[in-house]
């Protein structure tokens, strides 16, 4: 059986742990448990903003480096501070709801 290309292998990955294990990035399960979607979104953002061309080995190393960076972002910070998703970017300040708008 032939080995999978990087793109084929990545199509088989779904959980953050799958990506971290495939790319050989050491991780703490608790960090991933709390931040799994944030890590994967940050990884995607890094790759989108820093495309690379080359063979699978070059691309694997490139992907591994950015996955490690994405994971590390959440070992030194948290999801609210990192603001990966738009819901966190829009949540600034406080909201005002007039008393008349509150219904029983």
**C-alpha span between 61 and 33 (Å, rounded):** 25
CA-based nearest residue to 68, from 49, 46, 98? 46
**pTM for this entry:** 0.76
In the block, tokens 């994967």 appear at: 40
Q: Where are the domains of the chain?
A: 19-77
Model pLDDT for residues 49-99, shown as the tens digit of each residue: 999 999 999 999 999 999 999 999 999 877 776 667 665 545 455 556 676
Count the alpha carbons within 13 Å of 63 in the hemisphere toward its beta carbon.
20
Say how far apart CA 82 and CA 42 lie, in whole Å.
9
């Amino acid at each position: 059986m032939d080995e999978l290309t990087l793109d084929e292998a990545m199509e088989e990955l779904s959980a953050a742990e799958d990506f971290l294990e495939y790319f050989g990035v050491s991780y703490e399960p608790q960090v991933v448990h709390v931040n799994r979607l944030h890590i994967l979104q940050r990884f995607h953002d890094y790759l989108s903003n820093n495309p690379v061309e080359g063979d699978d080995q070059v691309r694997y190393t490139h992907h591994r480096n950015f996955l490690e960076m994405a994971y590390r972002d959440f070992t030194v910070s948290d999801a609210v501070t990192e603001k990966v998703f738009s819901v966190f970017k829009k949540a600034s300040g406080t909201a005002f709801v007039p008393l008349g708008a509150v219904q029983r």
